[in-house]
């Protein structure tokens, strides 16, 4: 790609960007939230036209008027925002762009077989005939990756393919990437997890504010250096702030079970405490806290939920909100964003009912509270009345986070809070979480990233197939112990190791 320029209105998103990729190479495309990564890839993928500049494949200049043109030229695209059709089966989704026909009829058998074959090769336990809507976000991401693999592309764009995957799935994706690389496929890999970049990529290029600012070989750099290229200065990673004194117990679960996703869970979180809950895909942690928040199971559970010492039976989310609970859901794209509403309204909707002045929303107050969040979280945006969808992925995540921070909760449950957020902003979010804890909020962080748990939590529960299998804190809260428990090892043995 040569001298690519692209603006949205007055916003010059890409300026004279050059980008190249060789056969059999995995190249990381890095940059802060809003730097222009997805926009550059949308141009390569035929989703957006460039204002100027050119694209060549094997020395031939191309022009892509649509995603199909780009796909026909051998470019597979795994989008940052999931792109599956919920009302179709997995196998139908796999073949959406190139349906095989037997005379005039779609060859369903063949599609199912090919899908099953690929899943087997990749060690994925999914029924090709299942409806996509029944899948968890992680599985949807896996299906998208498989779809790109199915297309026999010579270039594959992966825009944050691992945001909702856990370690074993990430390793499986990496194994696939290595195989593709051996076959000469070139891969563009976008990720904010620099550890992944170091592990899988050969080369890196960094965008900052729409300009290419650095490139080089991954073997010759460090994560620290990459972070510095991205933000333009060194990123300091604080260690955990001193523990503050804990106050009253705010949330207590006793032997909570829903009979399907989680069994016999007991835990307690106090004011000022940050409790982690971690595990691998299928550990049940999201379902557990959705139930606590009244967003799942409609009050059908056994065991007890106590808030500030009083038992409550949680039937729905209104009741949860009224009781001072807040819950940031795990999958932003499907559960947290109102696509046809503005940035401002998305960022303050939970609190709106409480911003009333004589029956009307107090707009000045709404804007003031939100403006503070925009500052604190450094949300990069145009006008606050623009649609939320005009923001980059990471900035959308910050808006969703802002919404819950404004809601002034007693218990704040954050499920995968930093998905798609860049390294600098991650640190800011961790600082904000610790600050809220210091102000007396009881916080639960659900995450599959051991690094995140270690960075922000005081202690952490580890779950495995719906059961709590251990608790780690202090020195024991390390990647090794967490992984050991999360894969079904037992606590006593882990202490001996
Ligand atoms: N459809 C659009 N309309 C208006 N502005 C847009 C649109 N798409 C992107 N932008 C703007 O372009 C800039 C770059 O966005 P882009 O999505 O390319 O960032 P990114 O590097 O992929 O960030 P992230 O890491 O958060 O995904 C942002 O300022 C964003 O607000
Ligand atoms: Mg992006």
Residues 406-462: pLDDT tens digits?
Answer: 888 999 999 999 988 888 888 888 988 998 999 999 999 999 889 899 999 999 999
Ligand 1 mutation target, pool 33, 34, 229, most atoms within 8 A of CB = 34
Residue 229 has pLDDT above 60, yes or no: yes
Q: How many angstroms separate the alpha carbon of residue 196 from the centre of ligand 2?
A: 17
Ligand 1 mutation target, pool 7, 9, 13, 19, most atoms within 8 A of CB = 13
Of the listed ranges 42-51, 68-77, 317-326, 340-349, the one predicted with least confidence: 340-349
Atom of ligand 1 nearest to the CA of 380: 29
User: Which carries the bigger pLDDT value, residue 456 or residue 493?
Assistant: 456
User: Which carries the bigger pLDDT value, residue 147 or residue 199?
Assistant: 199
Atom of ligand 1 nearest to the CA of 396: 26
Q: Whose CA is nearest to atom 3 of ligand 1?
A: 390
| Ligand index nearest the alpha carbon of residue 31 | 1
pLDDT for 353 equals 67
Q: Do 2-231 and 249-496 agree at the fold level?
A: yes
| Ligand index nearest the alpha carbon of residue 80 | 2
Banded model confidence at residue 352, pLDDT cuts 50, 70, 90: low
Atom of ligand 1 nearest to the CA of 210: 14
Atom of ligand 1 nearest to the CA of 397: 26
Q: How many angstroms separate the alpha carbon of residue 391 from the centre of ligand 2?
A: 9
Q: How many angstroms separate the alpha carbon of residue 489 from the centre of ligand 1?
A: 42
% of the chain surpassing 70 pLDDT: 93
Atom of ligand 1 nearest to the CA of 394: 26
Q: How many angstroms separate the alpha carbon of residue 212 from the centre of ligand 1?
A: 15
pLDDT for 491 equals 58
Q: How many angstroms separate the alpha carbon of residue 163 from the centre of ligand 2?
A: 12
pLDDT for 184 equals 92
Q: Whose CA is nearest to atom 28 of ligand 1?
A: 34
Atom of ligand 1 nearest to the CA of 36: 18
Banded model confidence at residue 260, pLDDT cuts 50, 70, 90: very high
pLDDT for 289 equals 96
pLDDT for 101 equals 55
Q: How many angstroms separate the alpha carbon of residue 390 from the centre of ligand 1?
A: 7
Residue 100 has pLDDT above 60, yes or no: no
Q: How many angstroms separate the alpha carbon of residue 369 from the centre of ligand 1?
A: 24
pLDDT for 282 equals 82
pLDDT for 103 equals 56
Residues in the ligand 1 pocket, defined by CB under 6 Å: 8, 11, 13, 31, 33-39, 80, 380, 390-395, 420, 422
| Whether 23 contacts 186, CB under 8 Å | yes
pLDDT tens for 128-162 read 999 998 887 778 888 888 888 888 889 999 999 88
β-strand partners of 431: none
Q: How many angstroms separate the alpha carbon of residue 204 from the centre of ligand 1?
A: 20
pLDDT for 461 equals 96
Q: How many angstroms separate the alpha carbon of residue 49 from the centre of ligand 2?
A: 17
Instruction: Annotate 302-314 with three-state secondary structure.
Output: EEEEEECCEEECC
Q: How many angstroms separate the alpha carbon of residue 33 from the centre of ligand 1?
A: 8
| Whether 287 contacts 142, CB under 8 Å | no
Q: How many angstroms separate the alpha carbon of residue 482 from the centre of ligand 1?
A: 35
pLDDT for 495 equals 52
Rounded mean pLDDT of the chain? 88
Banded model confidence at residue 269, pLDDT cuts 50, 70, 90: very high
d(CA 143, CA 138): 9
| Ligand index nearest the alpha carbon of residue 394 | 1
Atom of ligand 1 nearest to the CA of 192: 25
pLDDT for 98 equals 63
Atom of ligand 1 nearest to the CA of 35: 21
Four-residue CA torsion sign, 286, 80, 394, 168: positive
CATH of domain 2-231: 3.40.50.300
Ligand 1 mutation target, pool 391, 397, 421, most atoms within 8 A of CB = 391
Banded model confidence at residue 21, pLDDT cuts 50, 70, 90: very high
Ligand 1 mutation target, pool 12, 38, 401, most atoms within 8 A of CB = 38
The residue count of the chain comes to 497
pLDDT for 497 equals 44
- Residue holding tokens 């609970």? 325
pLDDT tens for 373-420 read 888 888 888 888 999 988 988 899 889 988 888 888 999 999 999 988
Q: Whose CA is nearest to atom 13 of ligand 1?
A: 34
Banded model confidence at residue 250, pLDDT cuts 50, 70, 90: very high
Biggest CA pair distance of the chain:
72
User: Which carries the bigger pLDDT value, residue 56 or residue 177?
Assistant: 56
- Residue holding tokens 């696939």? 176
Map out the domains of the chain as residue ranges: 2-231, 249-496
Tell whether domain 249-496 is in CATH 3.40.50.720. no
pLDDT for 83 equals 78
pLDDT for 384 equals 87
Q: Whose CA is nearest to atom 19 of ligand 1?
A: 34
Residue 490 has pLDDT above 70, yes or no: no
Residue 340 has pLDDT above 90, yes or no: no
């Amino acid at each position: 790609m040569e001298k690519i320029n692209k603006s949205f209105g007055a916003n010059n998103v890409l300026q004279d960007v050059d980008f190249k990729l060789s056969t059999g190479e995995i190249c990381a495309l890095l940059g802060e939230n809003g730097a222009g990564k997805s926009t550059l890839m949308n141009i390569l993928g035929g989703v957006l036209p460039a204002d100027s500049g050119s694209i060549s494949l094997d020395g031939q200049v191309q022009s892509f008027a649509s995603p199909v043109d780009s796909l026909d030229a051998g470019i597979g695209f795994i989008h940052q925002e999931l792109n599956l059709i919920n009302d179709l089966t997995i196998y139908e989704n796999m073949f959406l762009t190139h349906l095989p026909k037997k005379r005039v009829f779609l060859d369903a058998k063949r599609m199912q077989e090919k899908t099953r074959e690929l899943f087997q090769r990749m060690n994925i336990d999914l029924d090709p005939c299942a409806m996509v809507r029944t899948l968890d976000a992680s599985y949807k991401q896996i299906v998208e990756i498989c779809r790109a693999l199915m297309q026999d592309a010579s270039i594959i764009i992966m825009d944050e393919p691992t945001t909702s995957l856990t370690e074993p799935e990430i390793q499986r994706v990496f194994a696939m990437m290595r195989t593709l690389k051996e076959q000469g496929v070139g891969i563009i890999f976008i990720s904010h997890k620099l550890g992944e970049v170091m592990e899988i990529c050969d080369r890196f290029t960094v965008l900052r504010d729409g300009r290419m600012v650095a490139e080089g070989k991954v073997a010759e750099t460090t994560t620290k250096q990459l972070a510095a290229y991205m933000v333009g200065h060194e990123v300091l990673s604080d260690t955990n702030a001193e523990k503050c004194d804990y106050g009253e117990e705010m949330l207590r679960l006793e032997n909570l079970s829903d009979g399907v996703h989680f069994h016999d869970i007991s835990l307690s979180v106090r004011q000022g405490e940050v409790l982690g809950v971690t595990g691998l895909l299928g550990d049940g942690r999201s379902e557990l806290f959705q139930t606590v928040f009244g967003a799942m199971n409609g009050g059908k559970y056994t065991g007890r939920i106590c808030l500030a010492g009083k038992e409550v039976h949680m039937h729905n989310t209104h009741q949860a909100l009224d009781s001072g609970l807040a819950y940031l859901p795990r999958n932003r794209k499907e559960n947290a964003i109102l696509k046809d509403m503005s940035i401002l309204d998305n960022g303050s909707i939970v609190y709106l009912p409480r911003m009333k002045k004589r029956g009307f929303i107090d707009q000045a107050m709404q804007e003031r509270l939100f403006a503070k969040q925009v500052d604190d979280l450094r949300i990069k945006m145009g006008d606050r009345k623009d649609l939320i969808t005009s923001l980059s992925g990471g900035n959308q995540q910050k808006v969703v986070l802002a919404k819950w921070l404004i809601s002034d909760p007693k218990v704040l449950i954050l499920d995968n809070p930093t998905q798609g957020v860049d390294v600098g902003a991650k640190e800011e979010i961790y600082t904000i979480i610790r600050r809220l804890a210091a102000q007396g909020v009881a916080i639960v962080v659900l995450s599959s990233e051991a690094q995140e748990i270690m960075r922000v939590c005081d202690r952490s529960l580890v779950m495995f197939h719906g059961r709590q299998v251990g608790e780690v804190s202090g020195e024991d809260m390390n990647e090794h112990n967490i992984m050991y428990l999360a894969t079904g090892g037992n606590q006593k043995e882990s202490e001996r190791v």
